[in-house]
């Protein structure tokens, strides 16, 4: 675990157990706590300066969210990003994002059009920083404008329910700097399609946006799995 892990300092008004939960969840979603990394209560309690009780409660909640798995005789560890879990989330998000793009074509306000244009510019500038967290935040902000433009409270709630899981996959995708130019282009096309009220192109590009994300992360997963298998084989040969 990185030594940078510390309690989130802007949630002092929340109970300690909620602050610990938010801190650990944020660390998992941003990759500070990596897939497969063990979550040892004593170590985490010492690192965050709290007792083991809020750590234990946070781990249980994270398990319910699917971000932590319990391994027999090993304990809690950060859940792996698998092809199945990825596809399950993105399958739903693909359909919802396409719907959002179509509705935004009809309902986006002039103010939101300006916000979306600025968000496209801000995302492009964010990619120049090389800071994955900054880029991910700019990406979320851009998509949030489209979601809000649907003016559909139920749809907005459905997407927000997926937001934490989605952020984890988005973060993995955005770490790949080779994908940034394509992301910028896709955002511009989605923006222009919405401005032109071109529902077909907007929805098609929204789906392609997710498809490209899925393909890139699946490639990462398979490369990592191949590396693990090679390491196991190497260790077996050395015995």
**139 and 203 in a common domain:** yes
Do the domain assignments include residue 238?
no
Distance CA 237, CA 239 (A): 6
Residue 231 within any structural domain of the chain: no
Token pair recorded at residue 93: 């998000």
Do residue 61 and residue 154 come from a single domain?
Answer: no
Spatial separation of the C-alpha atoms in residues 15 and 32, rounded to whole Å: 23
| Domains of the chain: total | 2
Query: What's the pLDDT score for residue 13?
Result: 67
Give yes or no: residues 71 and 143 share one domain. Answer: no
Tell me: do 20 and 53 sit in the same domain.
Answer: yes
Q: Is 214 a member of any domain?
A: yes
**Structure tokens that stand for 53 in this block:** 């009780």
**Domain termination site, one of 32, 59, 78:** 78
Same domain? 158 vs 176? yes
> Is residue 2 in some structural domain?
no
Note whether 159 and 42 are same-domain residues: no
Clarify whether residues 34 and 101 are in a common domain: no
The two beta strands, 68-71 and 75-78, are antiparallel
Summarize pLDDT for 179-235 with one digit per residue, the tens.
999 999 999 999 999 999 999 999 999 999 999 999 999 998 888 778 777 776 676
Q: Which of 185, 110, 94 is nearest to 145 (CA)?
A: 110
On the CB side of 128, CA atoms within 13 Å amount to 5
pLDDT in tens, 145-163: 999 999 999 999 999 888 8
Coil, helix or strand at residue 75: strand
Q: What are phi and psi of 208, to 5 degrees?
A: -65, -35
Asked if 124 and 237 touch (Cβ cutoff 8 Å), the reply is no
Residue 26: give its domain's CATH number: 1.10.10.10
Domain boundary among the residues 29, 53, 78 is at 78
Token representation of residue 67: 């971000």
- Same domain for 68 and 32, yes or no, is yes
With residue 70 as reference, give the H or E element that holds it: strand 68-71
Token pair recorded at residue 124: 């492009």
pLDDT band at 164 (very low <50, low <70, confident <90, very high): confident
CA 110 to chain centre: 29
- Exposed, middle or buried: residue 39 (CB in 10 Å: 0-12, 13-18, 19+)? buried
**Phi-psi bin for 180: left (phi > 0), alpha (psi -120 to 50), beta?**
alpha
Assign residue 186 the CATH number of its domain.
1.20.120.530
Same domain? 59 vs 88: no
Per-residue pLDDT tens digits for 53-93: 999 999 999 998 888 999 998 899 999 888 998 999 999 99
Q: Does one domain contain both 61 and 171?
A: no
Residues in the chain: 239
Residue 47 lies in domain: 16-78
Phi, psi (rounded to 5 degrees) for 65: -80, -5
45 lies in the same domain as 152: no
- 232 within some domain: no
| Residue 200 belongs to some domain of the structure | yes
- What backbone torsions phi and psi does residue 96 show, to the nearest 5 degrees? -70, -40
Does residue 237 lie in a domain region?
no
In a domain? residue 114: yes
For residues 73 and 89, what is the distance between their CA atoms, to the nearest angstrom? 29
Residue 2: pLDDT over 50: no
């Amino acid at each position: 675990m990185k030594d940078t892990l510390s309690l989130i300092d802007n949630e002092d008004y929340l109970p300690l157990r909620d602050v610990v939960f938010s801190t650990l969840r944020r660390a998992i979603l941003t990759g500070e706590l990596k897939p497969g990394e063990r979550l040892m209560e004593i170590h985490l309690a010492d690192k965050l300066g709290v007792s083991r009780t809020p750590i234990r409660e946070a781990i249980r909640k994270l398990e319910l969210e699917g971000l932590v798995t319990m391994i027999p005789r090993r304990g809690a560890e950060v859940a792996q990003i698998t092809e199945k879990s990825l596809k399950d989330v993105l399958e739903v998000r693909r359909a919802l994002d396409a719907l959002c793009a179509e509705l935004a074509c009809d309902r986006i306000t002039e103010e939101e059009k300006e916000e979306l244009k600025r968000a496209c510019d801000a995302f492009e500038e964010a990619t120049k920083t090389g800071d994955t967290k900054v880029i991910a935040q700019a990406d979320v902000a851009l998509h949030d404008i489209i979601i809000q433009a649907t003016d559909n409270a139920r749809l907005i709630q459905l997407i927000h329910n997926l937001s934490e899981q989605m952020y984890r996959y988005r973060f993995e995708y955005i770490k790949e700097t080779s994908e940034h130019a394509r992301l910028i282009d896709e955002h511009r096309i989605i923006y222009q399609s919405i401005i032109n009220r071109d529902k077909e192109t907007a929805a098609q590009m929204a789906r392609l946006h997710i498809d490209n994300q899925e393909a890139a992360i699946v490639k990462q997963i398979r490369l990592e799995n191949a590396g693990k298998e090679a390491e196991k084989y190497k260790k077996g040969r050395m015995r």
